[in-house]
Structure 1
Amino acid sequence: MRDRITDALYGAGWGAVKRLPEPVAAALGRGIADTAWKRRGKGVLRLESNLARVVPDTTPERLAELSRAGMRSYMRYWMESFRLPAWSAERVRDGFEPKDLHILEEGLAAGKGVILALPHLANWDLAGAWVTTHLGVPFTTVAERLRPETLYDRFVAYREGLGMEVLPHTGGSAFGALARRLRAGGLVCLVADRDLSDSGVRVDLFGEPTRMPAGPALLAQQTGARLLPVTLWYDGPSMMRGRVHPPVEVPEGGTRAERTAAMTQSLAAVFEAGIAEHPEDWHMLQRLWLADLERPPADLERP
């Protein structure tokens, strides 16, 4: 029953919110965010706990303000995602402005494939839609399998409708398929600040150990593709901005494991800087650091 209700709610969101006038949808998102923030549920508490690592010297009042802004940013992501399938190509184009795009274009022109690695900042789906509509470049990504399966199918259909090829994170051979796309000179986009496999690479993030997925670094080593970090942030009510960062190079020496660790730590450093600049747009409502994963506080444990 819970799975059916969850699927129905998301279905209602995609069906109804995209028909609302944009100002009404934005106001609805802020209202839902503020209500959730005031209730101080597990997701809000986890967000504040994560943000406390990002801004360790802040006051409790400032941290509360930041978590409220974070919930508004998170709900903005959902309102935009529900509406993206109905946006025109012009609306997508005008809603995103990336900096240093030439780094991506040069990588694609080299013909060896490009891996874009992003943290959970702002709206990565909007950035992806911009790439497919404005640059005219299709790409492949990986999605976490959700429950119920019908909800996962909705997300796949949604992202495929935006021009993305979506592979399941588990239950298939995603790595091999991604490697083939890259060897053909293609583009792969991966959200890479949270390890879903429990076998990721240990890195330091904001002074504490966590794990990030090894896939981006391994793919770059195996295929010769360029690994480019990307960070995103909201700028005003109708604009999102982003930056394509210089490539993460493959170290010349060391074992594959050592090269993977060094490259993943380099990714973490870029992510850390982007999150620190725009902490309110980091949508991390899950446990992330090893200290929390190993000894999660009972009052913050997600269901």
Structure 2
Amino acid sequence: MSALKDKLTDGLYGLGWSTVKKLPEPVATGLGRRIADFAWKRRGKSVLRLESNLARVVPDATPERLAELSKAGMRSYMRYWMESFRLPTWSKERVESDVDIKGAHYLLEGVAAGRGVIIALPHLANWDLAGVWVTRALGLPFTTVAERLKPETLYDRFVAYRESLGMEVLPHTGGSAFGTLARRLRAGGLVCLVADRDLSASGIEVTFFGDTARMPAGPAILAQQTGALLLPVTLWYDDTAVMRGRIHPPVDVPESGTRAERTSVTTQALADAFAAGIADHPEDWHMLQRLWLADLDERPEGPQGPDREGERTA
């Protein structure tokens, strides 16, 4: 049964990539919205978890407001997928017109100075589209990390997809990703990491919307060891076809204290930047799984699916 499920999962994503990009854009947009509304009305575990997470982000929200946010959140999530299935066909001109990210000077100045740069971002709006903006609009190649997915054929699809967008993709497993990322940064390169969830033992505890969660240590440790600039990025959608975003000022990496203390302080600063962006646009935060330690049971969670790759970055 597991093999059949894996084959079906891989086939569905393959169908998405092959079919959605061929649809007229209004048709694809409408399809995504209908799928989102159908999933929201079913009130499955993912939708209920999304509402639970949003209740922490917007603690004074009424049940009606939470329902509105979760419905908008599912639509935002499906917009991510509809866009992602079509991204390989987007031209540089399309990317430049449909992405508006402020603060690019922080990134460009860091790269021009020959200093490695780490972009760290949460699961907001469309992080793949932000990556395409970096590679196509800014002309900057970068390296990222992907969690190994099951089945292996699905993981291969995602790697091939991101490589087609101009990204170098490293597998998280195997132990060599961190060293490769560090080498890229020391050579003045750019590394981009999705970094708002890590349930592993190596995750760093942070205060996030008033409660404890774990986030990856990787961005902070890489910044410490390589001297790279560490830039939080937050993204959001508005009522237009444009995705907007902000590259925040560099996070200050402490020079004193133990490695653990410096890692904790730096990761908390990232979490604070993420929280600011999420609070402004909660409906665009695609966190459909457990995050806060208070919500976890004693069983460890493994990789959650294709939208969750890259959670543990080092």
Q: TM class by shorter-chain length? A: over 0.9
Aligned to 1:113: 116
Deviation per CA, 1:187-234: give whole Å up to 9, x if none.
000000011533210000000001000000000000000000000001
Q: How many angstroms apart in 2 are the aligned matches of 1:293 and 1:237?
A: 37
Q: How many angstroms apart in 2 are the aligned matches of 1:92 and 1:222?
A: 34
Q: Say whether 1:55 aligns with 2:58.
A: yes
1:101 to 100, 104, 109: 104
* More moved, 3-12 vs 236-245: 236-245
Q: Which runs of 5+ in 2 are unaligned?
A: 306-314
* More moved, 84-93 vs 150-159: 84-93
Aligned to 2:154: 151
1:209 to 212, 215, 220: 212
Aligned to 1:81: 84
Corresponding residue SS for 1:294: coil
Instruction: Kindly report which structure 2 residues correspond to 1:190-209, keeping only aligned pairs within 5 A, or say none.
Output: 190-209=193-212
Shift of 1:263: 0.3
Corresponding residue SS for 2:140: coil
Identity of aligned residues (%): 77
Query: Retained in 1: the 8 A contact 2:199–2:214?
Result: no
Q: How many angstroms apart in 2 are the aligned matches of 1:153 and 1:76?
A: 23
Shift of 1:106: 1.0
Instruction: Kindly report which structure 2 residues correspond to 1:272-283, keeping only aligned pairs within 5 A, or say none.
Output: 272-283=275-286
Number of aligned residue pairs:
298
Q: How many angstroms apart in 1 are the aligned matches of 2:218 and 2:59?
A: 30
1:131 to 134, 142, 161: 134
Q: How many angstroms apart in 1 are the aligned matches of 2:52 and 2:135?
A: 36
Flag as ranges the 4+ runs of structure 1 deviating above 6 A.
none
Deviation per CA, 1:44-84: give whole Å up to 9, x if none.
01100100000011100000000000000000000000000
Q: Given the two structures, how large is their TM-score scaled by the length of structure 1? A: 0.96
Aligned to 1:28: 31
Shift of 1:252: 2.4
1:225 to 224, 228, 242: 228
Query: Retained in 1: the 8 A contact 2:235–2:244?
Result: yes
Aligned to 1:299: none
* More moved, 2-11 vs 231-240: 231-240
Corresponding residue SS for 2:123: coil
Shift of 1:172: 3.7
Q: How many angstroms apart in 2 are the aligned matches of 1:220 and 1:158?
A: 28
* More moved, 1-10 vs 243-252: 243-252
Change (3 A) 1:141 1:196: farther
Aligned to 2:252: 249
Q: Say whether 1:166 aligns with 2:157.
A: no
Q: Say whether 1:239 aligns with 2:247.
A: no
Deviation per CA, 1:8-33: give whole Å up to 9, x if none.
00000000000011111000000000
Q: How many angstroms apart in 1 are the aligned matches of 2:85 and 2:240?
A: 16
1:259 to 256, 259, 262: 262
Shift of 1:295: 6.3
Q: Given the two structures, how large is their TM-score scaled by the length of structure 2? A: 0.93
Q: Which runs of 5+ in 1 are unaligned?
A: 297-301
CA RMSD after TM alignment: 1.3
Corresponding residue SS for 2:115: coil
Q: How many angstroms apart in 2 are the aligned matches of 1:125 and 1:19?
A: 19
Query: Retained in 1: the 8 A contact 2:46–2:288?
Result: yes
Change (3 A) 1:182 1:265: same
Shift of 1:293: 1.5
